A and B are shown apart, each in its own frame.
Chain A
Amino acid sequence: MLLKIRDSVNLPSPLSISIWWNGGSILGVLLVMQILTGFFLSMHYTSDISNTFYSIVHIMRDVPMGWEFRFLHANGASFFFLFIYFHVGRGLYYQSYLTQPRTWMVGVTIFLVSMATAFLGYVLPWGQMSFWGATVITNLMSAIPYFGPSLVEWIWGSFSVGQPTLTRFFSLHFILPFLIMGLSAVHLIFLHEKGSTNPLGDLNHLGKIPFNPYFTWKDFVGFVLVFFFICFIVFFFPNMLGDPENFSMANFKVTPTHIQPEWYFLFAYAILRSIPSKLGGVIALAMSIFILYFLPVGMFNYSFSGSFCFVFQLIYWNLIAVFILLTWLGACPIEEPYMTLAVPCTILYFFLFITLIIIPIFWKKI
């Protein structure tokens, strides 16, 4: 173990890696912050539905520093996903999925588990949006033919979202971050097999420097910078990313006029809504994430370097634009012109991803 740590500290790292390579270490720090703040919040949280909302009020009003921990935890999740998107975006831009396919696959799994954890956590305050978000998302399973409805009831532990649902969601939300930690360790082990990629796409081991002290100090700068922005949001705009509906206690008799998930799921939500068929929408929603698993298909073609390829750049930046558009559309109400706009955006999202998968395979032929 100590040898592993020593190896990590002295890991030969490419001299040319830019600030975009800070994302991984920042995500690690954010994960630790989420686990610690979550642990302290769990000391005062109650998962009994008649008291849950009140326990959140208690944390915010009566527990010393409770509001700080809660705001750090809630906004920390947003920062975690922001940096996941930066991290995935960097991996896509520099084709880390081609040079480090196993690291990429584990990374996508971490992303999926993080999404599940964040969704479960959003249900815990038992506000209106928590309750109705849980109802909408869990109901998606009912689209699965034959055993879908039974599966939904199995997840709920009842005939609707209720007490058993909240209790198990709390348990799962508590345990899943430790799975993310384990997967992060596997992610690092695979990464250290070959070492980091670099902006030049250069796979030889020239121009490498030890990780410590160069990148440890560079990472420290990243941590402090991110903490600066987190503090800015937490102390000055703590509810900026939240939903007003969640200030009202869950009420199964009153449906909010506009149900939407947190900002980091909006792109997938827009894809789900853009398809008229429920099953089709659920499949598209799942595929919008699972498609990341297919990116390393062209991994044996080492001659491909998209960073210097005009077409690749065009596709990449179009994909980023489509992703942002979908995120915006996910937050818009279900009416024209947003509904019509979401359809070509969804098609483009998958088209651009498939093109990214295909390009390295046929690179030599081109």
Chain B
Amino acid sequence: MAAFVGRATKQGLLRAKPTLLNQQATFISFSSKTKKRVAWIFGSLALGGGAVVATALAQPAFASDLVLHPPHYPWNHKGLLQALDHGSIRRGYQVYKQVCAACHSMQYLCYRNLVNVIMTEEEAKAEAEEATIEDGPNENGDMYERPGKLSDHFPSPYKNEEQARAANNGAYPPDLTYIVPARHGQEDYIFSLLTGYAEPPAGVKLMEGQHYNPYFPGGAIGMAEALYNEIIEYDDGTPATQSQLAKDVVTFLRWAAEPEHDTRKLYGLRAMIICSFLLGVTYYMKRHKWSVLKTRKLAFKPPTYKK
């Protein structure tokens, strides 16, 4: 393998090509006795290091340290050139609106962001008008309420964090705009959390208002299981099983965190094509310019002396 890599890279990455200078330098290196001594020293160091590693790895593992990591799911937008499933985004928005929005805000998302992704402009305007937005002050200095507009952000279900905590037994429902990239495990974690509720195992005691979810750090989570089979009815007729609901809402949340997702991958493809072309051109030009030097022949011509 090493020989193959060496040949493939023409051994040119770090090693100097054998020349007269190289050979001379080898002569002025260490004698064999010193080499042996040095080999002993470093061998001992390696052994010592190995012993330290072995000792460290022999530490006991505690059951309380264990965290259940979510399995990897085959998300169809994870491929290098794969876009988000827009049908799934639309269904996911429906899940968010009918289930999650009761407790969770999406404060960085505007109604205008829905246009041409989840609905048409007219539909988005109608969607925004369903919301009541506090605005003002008016000419009398009073705040007033009005129907939402496309430029409005999604309204939060609570006025502030304190109100949210008071309504949720002290737990604060996080904002969902960036929830997917903000959690280790990303989509897999959110999906596992939404579908992973279980009865607490023996010995695990939960406080009032807490629920058991092995994927949540510590296991005790304030949020109750929110998704059940057929909890909502999809507009497009897709069977609303728990896993389908979870998959759709996670896809929607991925889009909410990265609305540029599809454009980014498209630009990436273009950039790769342009860079590959430029790489070919510059490499050709480099070879062209260097060809004179690379193909020159140096010959030793012994001097001729007159007899």
Contact = CB atoms under 8 A, between A and B. Distances in A.
A337 B56 contact: yes
A200 B17 CA distance: 8
B279 A247 contact: no
A350 interface: no
Interface stretch (B68-76, B97-105, B196-204, B269-277): B269-277
Contacts of B25: 201, 305, 307-309
Nearest to B46: A318
A217 B282 contact: yes
Interface stretch (A183-191, A228-236, A276-284, A290-298): A228-236
Interface in A185-236: 199-202, 209, 213-214, 217-218, 220-221, 223-225, 227-228, 231-232, 234-236
B262 to A, nearest CB: 11
A61 interface: yes
Contact of A310 (B35, B59, B183, B282): B35
B271 A231 contact: yes
Contacts of A234: 268
Given A337-B56, A366-B30, A366-B34, A239 B182 contact: no
B207 interface: no
B80 A308 contact: no
Contacts of B29: 308-310
Contact of A214 (B17, B22, B283, B293): B293
Interface string B32-48: 00110010001001001
Interface string A122-151: 000000000000000000000000000000
Interface in B1-39: 12-14, 16-17, 19, 21-22, 25-26, 28-30, 34-35, 38
B275 to A, nearest CB: 4
Interface in A245-278: 245, 247-248, 257
A224 B268 contact: no
A247 B258 CA distance: 12
Contacts of B17: 16
Contacts, number: 135
Candidate in B12, B174, B178, B276 with the most chain A CB atoms within 10 angstroms: B178
Candidate in A20, A57, A235 with the most chain B CB atoms within 10 angstroms: A235
A19 B10 CA distance: 12
A200 B282 CA distance: 27
B56 A341 contact: yes
B53 A341 contact: yes
A236 B279 contact: no
Candidate in A54, A57, A224, A232 with the most chain B CB atoms within 10 angstroms: A224
Contacts of A182: none
Sort chain A's interface into a size bin: 35 or more
A225 B283 CA distance: 10
Contact of A18 (B12, B59, B181): B12
Interface string A85-110: 00000000100000000000000000
B286 interface: yes
Nearest to B112: A62
Contacts of A18: 12-14
Given A236-B80, A344-B52, A337 B178 contact: no
A61 B279 contact: no
Contact of A200 (B19, B42, B59): B19
A116 interface: no
Contacts of A338: 56
A1 interface: no
Given A67-B260, A236-B265, A247-B178, A199 B16 contact: yes
Contacts of B289: 213-214, 217
Contacts of B80: 236
Nearest to A202: B21
A16 B12 CA distance: 10
Nearest to A220: B282
A340 B56 contact: yes
B165 to A, nearest CB: 12
A223 B56 CA distance: 44
Nearest to B275: A228
B293 A247 contact: no
Given A227-B275, A244-B181, A308-B22, A200 B286 contact: no
B286 A220 contact: yes
A221 B56 contact: no
A264 B271 CA distance: 26
Given A217-B289, A336-B56, A314 B282 contact: no
B206 interface: no
Contacts of B35: 310
Interface in A160-194: none
A287 interface: no
A234 B265 CA distance: 10
Contact of A228 (B26, B174, B259, B276): B276
B286 A20 contact: no
B267 A340 contact: no
Interface of A: 15-16, 18-20, 54, 57, 60-61, 67-68, 93, 199-202, 209, 213-214, 217-218, 220-221, 223-225, 227-228, 231-232, 234-236, 238-239, 244-245, 247-248, 257, 303, 305, 307-311, 314, 318, 336-338, 340-341, 344, 348, 366
23 contacts: A54-B108, A200-B16, A202-B21, A217-B289, A228-B275, A228-B276, A234-B268, A235-B264, A236-B268, A238-B264, A247-B178, A248-B178, A307-B16, A308-B16, A309-B25, A309-B29, A310-B29, A311-B38, A337-B55, A338-B56, A340-B55, A344-B49, A344-B52
Given A228-B272, A232-B268, A337-B57, 5 more contacts: A61-B259, A218-B286, A307-B16, A337-B55, A344-B52
The 3 A-B residue pairs with the shortest CB-CB distance in the complex, in nearest-first order: A235-B268, A337-B56, A308-B25
